[in-house]
Amino acid sequence: MTDPTTPTVPAGWYPDPDVPGGQRWWSGIEWTEYRTPPAASPQYAPQYGYAPAAAPVALPPDAWPYVGQSAPAGTVVPLWAPLYGATMGQAWTRFWKKYADFSGRASRSEFWFAYLWLVILLFGSYFVFAILLAVVGSIGSAIDGSSSDAAFGIGAGVVGLLWVGAYIAAIIPMISVTVRRLHDAGYSGGYFFMGFIPFVGSILLIVYFVTDSKPQGAIYDLPR
């Protein structure tokens, strides 16, 4: 465009040299103080607004077994349902009451407290009896001067048989509570067999065992 400062440029609105995008009135001789602001950029309304805050979903009173939450205070949890927030005593009782029940679910507290009991009772009792037998054998040797090898061997054999018998008795409920814990985490009970994969399988199972409860695990429940 021709420079407005030249005499040949008529009066009118021209681009403001001081304000990019604005216009300024040229009197035909000089710039005046009449200006128009730069054209405002078109304001586009956002295509999507902010999502409203999620409103709490009203669950029916009997929905607690399915949402991974503890039952309301005073509620008697049926044996077929998972017991969230189970105590050690409750977990141990349900461990044996659901001896060969491979349906339904088991909460994390049910599962881990049951295994904690097994470690304490089976392995703890083994070491306690081993120490007692060693002490009794030492006392017998000090009293009659003999080594009491025969008595010690018989005692050790009896304790060993009892320990093996208890372990065998616990195998089935150990497997069933494992399957139920997998159900509660949203996995098929068939994932139990991944434990037979050397090294990797055990790690994957531990990850599954500590996974949060999933509501979709309710498909494995058999209310009765």
Three-state secondary structure readout of 172-198: HHHHHHHHHHHHHCCCCHHHHHHHHCC
The pLDDT tens digits for 98-135 are 999 999 999 999 999 999 999 898 777 777 777 777 77
Same domain, 83 and 21: no
Phi, psi of 36 (to 5 degrees): -115, 140
Q: Has residue 180 been placed in a domain? A: yes
Same domain, 91 and 202: yes
Same domain, 30 and 106: no
Same domain, 88 and 32: no
Parent domain of 113 = 78-220
Q: Has residue 66 been placed in a domain? A: no
Q: Name which residue leads in pLDDT, 133 or 65.
A: 133
C-alpha distance from residue 65 to each of 55, 74, 79, 82, 104 (Å): 21, 14, 11, 6, 11
pTM reported for the whole predicted model? 0.63
Nearest to 67 by CA among 105, 98, 40: 105
Same domain, 168 and 90: yes
Same domain, 97 and 201: yes
> How many distinct structural domains can be found in the chain?
2
If pLDDT is split at 50, 70 and 90, which confidence band does 152 have?
A: low
C-alpha 185/C-alpha 180 separation (Å) is 9
Same domain, 82 and 30: no
| Neighbour order of strands in the sheet with 12-15 | 12-15, 23-26, 31-36
Q: Has residue 120 been placed in a domain? A: yes
Query: Looking at the predicted structure, is the pLDDT value of residue 53 above 50?
Result: no
